[in-house]
Copies of this chain bind each other. A is one copy, B any other.
């Protein structure tokens, strides 16, 4: 994580981290100037996943109340969900459930390229049937200009 200087990889590494590493990674990213928040959500409803990420972003001040920042976040979430759903953005409707950790990171695309602000949403978790153990890993990354 120390060498990680790009927005998307930062978001993915935080979403994939476990235990104490999550805070360590988030702190390391903040030290480099990225704004960071993260959380977890499990659901069969896509809209609950979207709502959990939007709520985390608002609560931590990563997006403000203006529509343009929420529009940027919403479409980064939808993009990340494409990696999750791989062909359709549906869960319960197609009898799937998901348990995710997510991250939202705001900053330049890379530390060398600091002229603009971008937003990344990282997702990592397990997707599968609503039967214990019948699941495999899944990830998603969405990036949008702020």
Contact = CB atoms under 8 A, between A and B. Distances in A.
Contacts of A133: 67, 113
B51 A95 contact: yes
Please give the count of copies of this chain that the complex contains.
Answer: 6
Contact of A95 (B50, B66, B138): B50
Contacts of A71: 134, 136, 144-145
Interface residues of A, number: 60
A50 B67 CA distance: 27
Interface of A: 3, 6-9, 12-13, 16, 18, 45-47, 50-51, 54, 66-68, 70-72, 74-75, 78-79, 82-83, 85-90, 92-95, 109, 113, 115-116, 118, 120, 124, 128-129, 131, 133-145
